Structure 1
Amino acid sequence: MLEPPPIPEDSRFALSLLARLSEDQRADFVGRLAQAAPTTSTSHFAANVMPVEGLQEEELSVVLEELLAMKTALRPKTDVEEFAKSVAASMSRADVGLIPADQVPGFTEFLIEILGRQINLSITAAAGQLMFESERVFGSAKVLTDLRPVYESGTGSPVAMMPVHLLKISVVNSDQEYTFALDGLDLVQIGREISRARSQEKDLRDFVESARLVWVER
């Protein structure tokens, strides 16, 4: 029988956190996953799942990030049961030692339950992947408002004052930040577009819910 492949170093910590959970704690985790609203963000999904007995907040985020990565890596025709068996067997390797050999069947079933039967985890993985297909994903925004003096040519004192709004937008998973100078009319236009988008979103949500589908928010 071929030896199962090794567990990548960056996955071992997350899997060790799952492995240490008791049967009752595993059942609690599965129950929380079943009740958590899906999102496009790992951190927001973690907030929806919390609290989980046996896992601190930061540990839960690490675990969910690993599980979402696994779910994303699974191809549509991948046999989840075989994948779970492979992961559990790899965790029991002598050079890994995350679980003893006699716990492989139980941990395999635990992974199958999570990766194969938890629809909210599946939706979050797919929605997050869809969201990040865009070249840039909005991170945060800040508006700084200031007064700027207006000078007439040849004079040393300002003849007028003008408000200037600086809109700063950051991008997720990037150091990029974009700055835009706006005036009052620009703010009105942006506000109008946001109101229109929110109205359209409400109509779309009503349609999705009437079709008995899951509405995913970030």
Structure 2
Amino acid sequence: MEPITFASALANLSMMAPEIWQAVKETALMLSIGLGAALFVGGPLGIVLYLTQPGQLFAHRGFNAVLGWFVNLVRSFPFIILLVSLGPLTRILVGSTIGPVAAAVPLSFAAIPYFARLVEQTLREIPRGVIEAAEAMGASPLQIITKVLINEARAGLISSLTILTISFLSYSAVAGVVGGGGIGDLAIRYGYYRFQTDVMVGMVLLLVVIVQIIQFIGNRLASRLDKR
């Protein structure tokens, strides 16, 4: 076997450009579905977790304990086990267990409780006095949620979403192990099974670049929205 040089590795990756681009699109599809589920289901779930805590607007110790237990239960599953165990449900929902859309199902199940806890922790940082002032002015519960809680916590929520996106970028790579597609699938098929180290290194570097871009955008948005 000829030794791998930088030039040969670059030439090989250039020839694989269409496959790499397809892998990037598959990863983006998995992330968009998973993050969409996290935002529209996990976000409200996190708000409910916060509002049902003792001393909050809709305090209910029993409901909060049960909901918190369920969130922790789902979060306790390693993603690879969740990926395999949700196979039958994934087949029912999307008709297959292979491909980025199929991989997005367990990704969504993992993202929802993960983001819910991040939202809950972010809302806890809001001073209680801000909420009490809104209540004293006669604000309705919906106004308190939309105009006080979310408005005050928006910088923290952006930071939480950034953390979630980066974490689940690595989860989407794990989905490649079971045919989920994406960058992880490409790295495993070529870098591991075919012993093409240059492809493995190239995919790792690509993930590093994507993470840096996501973190940069998240930091900029959070700093712009930070009212402090």
TM-score (norm 1): 0.28
Q: Which has the larger radius of gyration?
A: 1
Q: Which has the higher contact order (CA 8 A, sep 6+)?
A: 2
Using structure 2 for the length normalisation, give the TM-score: 0.27
Higher helix share: 2
